[in-house]
Amino acid sequence: MGSKLTNAFSEINRCLQDIHELGTKCMEENREVTETMRDRQWTHDFEFYSKPHDHLTGKALKMALAEKE
């Protein structure tokens, strides 16, 4: 009976180690994805804010254009 119990605990320990390794791998992949997303957002923001933008739309844009003329 002691041998069966030892084997059961060994199997549980292996499963826990596998879960731990999978969790660690998943966290690392999430970190890489987060870094990639942050870099892409920074690039988008840089491109967006480095250009002049007229934020007026619709009726306000038409009124502003009419005032310029």
Low-confidence ranges of the chain (pLDDT < 50): none
Rg (CA), the chain: 29
Distance CA 12, CA 4 (A): 12
Question: Rounded CA gap, 50 and 37, in Å?
Answer: 20
Q: How high is the pLDDT of residue 18? A: 96
Vertex 37 angle, CA 18 and 22, to 5°: 0
pLDDT at residue number 54:
66
Cβ pair 61, 54 in contact under 8 A:
yes
**Nearest of 28, 9, 27 to residue 17 by alpha carbon:** 9
What is the domain range of residue 51? 2-68
Number of structural domains found in the chain = 1
State residue 53's pLDDT score: 67
